[in-house]
Amino acid sequence: MTPVVVFVPEAADGVVAARAWYDAHPPRLGRAFAIDLEEAVARILQNPLAFPFVRGGSRQAALKRFPHTIQFRIHHDHVVIVAIVCALPSMSRGD
């Protein structure tokens, strides 16, 4: 059985903010970001135990095209996305 995905509110807000940032800056890559994120979540669901641990007991999966990682935890029959982390300081500051 495939686990269910749950985004905590902060992680969902992070997705919205990142997509808005990419939509606001040329070449308008918000949709491409969303697709990359969906593909990363699909990889997590295929084999959540394959991803390495990071701080606090979460695991981490990297997006392929964008400088973001997904931090998640595994709980019985669901995967909880706890954070979307960006490696670009300018995005983190909202520039």
pLDDT single digits (tens) 50-73: 999 998 899 999 999 999 999 999
Check residue 85 and give its pLDDT. Answer: 94
Check residue 93 and give its pLDDT. Answer: 56
User: What mean pLDDT is predicted for residues 82-95?
Assistant: 76
pTM (predicted TM-score): 0.88
The full DSSP string for 37-91 is HHHHHHHHHH-GGGSPB-GGG-EEEE-SSSSEEEEEEEETTEEEEEEEEE--HHH
Domains annotated on the chain, with CATH: 4-90 (3.30.2310.20)
Share of the chain above pLDDT 70, in %: 93
